[in-house]
Amino acid sequence: MTLLKQTSYQPLTEAAAIQLALSLNIFTENAELVCKEIGDGNLNLVFHLVDEQAGKGLIIKQALPYAKVVGESWPLTLKRAKFEADALKIFGQIAPAYVPEVYFTDDILAITVMEDLSHLLIARTGVIKGETYPLLSKHLGEYLAKTLFFTSDYGLGLSAKKEQVQKFINPELCKITEDLIFTDPYFDAETNEFEDGLRAEVDALWQDEELKFHVNVLKRSFLTEAEVLLHGDLHTGSVFANNEETKIIDPEFAFYGPAGFDIGQVIANLLFQVIVNESKRDLFINHIETVWIVFEDQYTHLWNTENKEILAKTSTFLNYQLSKFFEDALGFAGCELIRRTIGLAHVADLDGIEDEHKRLAAKRKTLELGEVLIKQRKEINNLPSFIFKVKGVL
């Protein structure tokens, strides 16, 4: 098929996506495919193709050579499509219930062809619309326990893990996180975006040496601690859900980093709903508690039954690991809260609040909670104290 023989990259059109899909023998030769570009993320093209007669569909995701959220002035490596496809395959083997199936990849076109998830909704969009997703947190807790255990030294074995670390050296995408989460929000960087009404809070944050010290400690952890294969961008925009199913997509930021980073991003993105959605506050607090409880329970089970490190298989060392993950997760959650409020790439949970007074109040609480979690993550060393702190800020 001509497109797949291409030796150079070209962005797909809807017509080209149909041509490509037909060449993959997933649909019948004469299938009449309808294709729509539905990408609403920050970086990629996403084509949804359907054979309405057969009731069958698929997704073709293609990386663009620049960050869509900014424009062509921000070039971005196409290699991220391979990182994403490779990570999807690994996570799919570890936690098949929660990861879309990959049918085909092409490194030159930077595409991943995968399972159609159009019966689900992006979880961020869903919760903003009022969905409660009763199983979301149980599923996320289980996904985190399995992926963060089976990609670690303890679940994978020391040599296999080192080989995997090598394959997931992902400097370009890590640089985005290093800048946008751990650096830019803490000084007057061009990438920052915040409303005039937050000027006083932002000025205070830029002057807060204690906060910046703690962010540097967390950044060092992100830079140096190759604990597990992270999804790397596990916010609620990377999760498809309905009341029964949850699928985690978009691991293009995958690399070996500290386990608490994925857990923290999940917690932070559920916290946005705790902050903005007063009528469902307890429900989302409950979701956060469930994520951690299920994670802890399943990780403990895997630690005791699948651990490849004989001498590490003690409850003392397990407790040390879990305490570290919890502390790191709170710190990283705090960084995510702050960056999504004043840095680049905001969230609709906050920006979608129409009333300016309410929106600014929610953003102030988000910044305050972010600072508390970053600075006090060591002292808040259990779930009840964490929930108590959250409620204290609301």
Distance in angstroms (rounded) separating the CA atoms of residues 347 and 362:
12
Q: Is 69 in the site for ligand SR1 (CB under 6 A)?
A: yes
Could you tell me if 41 and 237 are in contact, meaning their C-beta atoms sit under 8 angstroms apart?
yes
Binding-site string for ligand SR1 from residue 318 to residue 357, where x marks contact by CB under 6 A and - marks none: --------------------------xx------------
Closer Cβ to ligand SR1, 124 or 161, answer by number: 124
- Side chain identity, residue 46: V
Residue whose CB is nearest to ligand SR1 in the complex, by number: 42
Minimum separation from the CB atom of position 40 to ligand SR1 (A)? 11
Query: Would you say 85 or 380 has its CB closer to ligand SR1?
Result: 85
Identity of the residue numbered 389: K
Partner from ligand SR1, Mg ion, none binding residue 69, C-beta < 5-8 Å depending on class: ligand SR1
> Which is closer to ligand SR1, CB of 73 or CB of 305?
73
User: Which residues, 14 to 43, sit near ligand SR1 by CB under 6 A?
Assistant: 41-43
Q: Pick the closer one to ligand SR1 by CB: 174 or 380.
A: 174
Which residue among 142, 250, 262, 296 contacts Mg ion (CB under 5 A)?
250
Q: Considering the complex, state which of residue 43 and residue 140 has its C-beta at the smaller distance from ligand SR1.
A: 43
Interface map 186-225 toward Mg ion (x if CB under 5 A): ----------------------------------------
Determine the Cα–Cα distance for residues 329 and 25; give it in Å rounded to an integer: 43
Instruction: Enumerate residues 173-202 that contact ligand SR1 by CB under 6 A.
Output: 176, 180
| Closer residue to ligand SR1 in complex, CB, 114/176 | 176
What string marks each residue from 199 to 238 as x (binds ligand SR1 by CB under 6 A) or -?
----------------------------------x-----
- Under the criterion CB under 6 A, does residue 67 sit at the interface with ligand SR1? yes
CB-neighbour burial class of residue 131 (10 A; exposed 0-12, middle 13-18, buried 19+): middle
Question: Which positions lie near ligand SR1, rule CB under 6 A?
Answer: 41-43, 67, 69, 176, 180, 233, 344-345
